[in-house]
Structure 1
Amino acid sequence: MSGLIALLDDVAALTRIAATSLDDVASMAAKAGTKAAGVIIDDAAVTPKYVTGLDPKRELPIIWKIARASVFNKLVILLPVAMLLKAFAPVLLIPLLMFGGLYLCFEGAEKIYHVLRPHGDTHVEADMDIGDPAKLEETRVKGAIKTDFILSAEIMTITLNEIPDGSIGLQAAALAVVAICITALVYGVVGLIVKMDDVGALLALNANTGVGRGIGKGLVRGMPHLLTVLSTVGTAAMLWVGGQILVHGLHNPDFIGWAQPYGVIKEVSQNVAGDAGFGNWAVTAFFDGVIGLAIGLLLIPIVTRVIAPLIGALTGSKAQH
């Protein structure tokens, strides 16, 4: 009898340990996932363009293909690489994170630049000349997977940097949770977005009441505006996150250790909004975003006139961003 009681005690202790570990994983995943907000929103805003002009019946299957590839990218390729870096070359994490911050600043600034100086979307327009629908779908899916890989690498790097040191198993589990949840969130939202106009059209034509038909018409008319808002929020978030990464990276004593501009932003935010709360965060995010925009604008001529032509020469093809 005493042996059975001891066994039950051991089982209870293991259960408590497992529950604590799950809580730790959930806590780390939630904290880390919020830091990748800019990339997540941009991912959701970018992906719908890859099904533009295709057979509506193929929209969800295409999104499912991209989502499966995204999970593979994150869990099979990026997660093991991230954990190896964390274990054996942690000194590389901050430089990689800084590089990702520069990428986010460039992407966000370029979006704003192209609003001020409009041009066609070369990614989509370039493949519209493909006559075979199957070939067009294959081209779009490949393009989307490449874009997803870049954004996934940013998400995983940002997430890994936010996970505190500790058990490798817990870190890997938190990273895997973030990867799966973000993929489900992004492509679930994308699926809703691309089919919402179809749902609206169905309601507008077949609803039994005027209210239902009005809702359907509102959905059809509202989806372009929703995509615009989503793209705008994603751009702002990219500049904020990119600027924040660079500001904190420069301030990090393990990297460069510059006191500014981190010190100035912190002082201004405290003077304007106090030491904590939404106001402090908003002021800090604003200045991080301004810095991100400034750096991104400086990067545009470097990337488009130097790096892109160089890549094109090395790959033997015309580089297009």
Structure 2
Amino acid sequence: MATGLLALLDDVAALVKVSAASLDDVPTQVAKTTGKVSGIVIDDTAVTPKYVVGLDPKRELSIIWQIAKKSVINKAIFLGPAALVLGYFAPAVIPYILMLGGAYLCFEGYEKVHSMFSKTHEPTDEPTEEMEVITPEELEKQRVNGAVRTDFILSAEIMAIAYSTVADSPLMNQIVVLLAVAIFITVAVYGFVGLIVKADDIGVHMAQGKFHPTTQKIGRGIVKAMPSFLVILGYVGTAAMLWVGAEIIAHGLPFMHHPMEVLGNLFPDVPFLGWLVKVVVLALGGILLGAVIAQVVSMGSRLFKGSAQKVAN
């Protein structure tokens, strides 16, 4: 009896050692996954601040908290388990989901680029629709819902990429990594977003006369720099969206693997330069793909409207 108990304890101890050794890889896997989703994270960070523009500054952090809370719930409760279930029962579907999300990112990126360079806003003689009057509370709710919808799409990409990184790992590793990624990325993104939207207030506070002249100067510099910083952040987010979207699609197409490796190794003595060339090529490819998708969507929209009008008549 005692011998059997000791053997059982030995087995448990061995299992614990194996599990511990396996979990030792978790920080590395989380770091690897975070690197792969960096473009989406940058885009998420760049997009979110616009949802609090024009609202009561006192409500900014509350709004960001609402978005962050729903974001981590979506990642940890819905998207992470969905990735695990799909990975177990239908792993072949994951690459196609990733590519679909990549195509969406290219489409969104193209739409942003198109809006940046669209200079013609010709007035029309058609009567404008009467604007709906809503309360600040309703506007806040609309903004939060819009931000959560956008975040859900980006979060789905993040969790799918995170799963693809640990798909060959033990189940416990997959669960821990997905949960860690969900929490870490949400905290990082929305913590930085909170810092961005409150930077003006921080700068104004630092510029008060009670502080050292150097501190005042820094505060005034922050206030002056924030508008330009937000514009640059928007450009960076758009570029990241195009680059990541195109790279996801390229990874899903076997015949694109070799060309991507060639681009990345064009300058073996200067790895950063090779990486930059690869990113630029992917971003340009993302714009082209986004333009094609935009045309298809536009044609589909016109056909749908035409069919709806015929049915109505």
TM-score normalised according to structure 2 size: 0.84
Alignment of 1:98-247 (within 5 A): 98-117=99-118, 130-247=133-250
Alpha-carbon distance between aligned partners in 2 of 1:99 and 1:275, rounded to the nearest angstrom: 35
Structure 2 CA distance for aligned equivalents of residues 30 and 309 of structure 1: 46
Partners of 2:120 and 2:187 in 1: CA distance = 32
Greater displacement, 205-214 / 52-61 = 205-214
Q: Tell me by how many angstroms 1:97 deviates.
A: 0.8
In the alignment, structure 1 segments of 5+ residues that lack a partner are 121-125, 252-258, 315-321
- Which of structures 1 and 2 has the bigger CA Rg? 2
What one-letter code is carried by the residue in structure 2 that aligns with 1:306? G
Tell me the residue number matched to 2:83: 82
Q: Which residue of 2 aligns with 1:254?
A: none
Paired letter, 2:50: K
Aligned partner letter, 1:54:
L
1:39 partner SS? helix
Q: Decide whether aligned partners of structure 1 residues 118 and 172 sit closer, same or farther in structure 2, where only a CA change above 3 A counts.
A: farther
Assess, with a 3 A threshold, how the Cα gap between structure 1 residues 282 and 72 changes in structure 2: closer, same or farther: same
Partner of 2:300: 306
Deviation larger for 136-145 or 181-190 = 136-145
Q: Any unmatched runs of 5+ in structure 2?
A: 122-128, 309-313
**2:64 is matched by which residue type in structure 1?**
I
Which deviates more from structure 2 when the two are superposed, residues 135-144 or residues 273-282? 273-282
The 5 A counterparts of 1:24-43 are 24-43=25-44
1:286 aligns with 2:280: yes
CA RMSD in angstroms comes to: 3.0
Q: Which residue among 258, 273, 276 is the counterpart of 2:267?
A: 273
Counterpart in 2 of 1:317? none
Change (3 A) 1:80 1:286: same
2:51 is the alignment partner of 1:50? yes
Equivalenced residues, count: 296
SS class of match (1:205) = coil
After superposition, the Cα gap between the structure-2 partners of 1:173 and 1:294, relative to the gap in structure 1 and judged at 3 Å, is: same
Q: Which moved more, 1:7-16 or 1:99-108?
A: 7-16
TM-score, normalised to structure 1, is 0.82
Distance in structure 1 (CA, Å) of the matches to 2:42 and 2:132: 29
Contact preservation (8 Å) 1:36, 1:155 = yes
1:115-153 residue CA offsets vs partner (Å, 9 max, x unmatched): 101599xxxxx9x95441111111111111111111111
The amino acid across from 1:200 in the alignment is: G
Letter aligned with residue 276 of structure 2: A
SS where residue 208 of structure 1 aligns? coil
* Cα distance change of structure 1 residues 269 and 131 upon mapping to structure 2, 3 Å threshold: closer
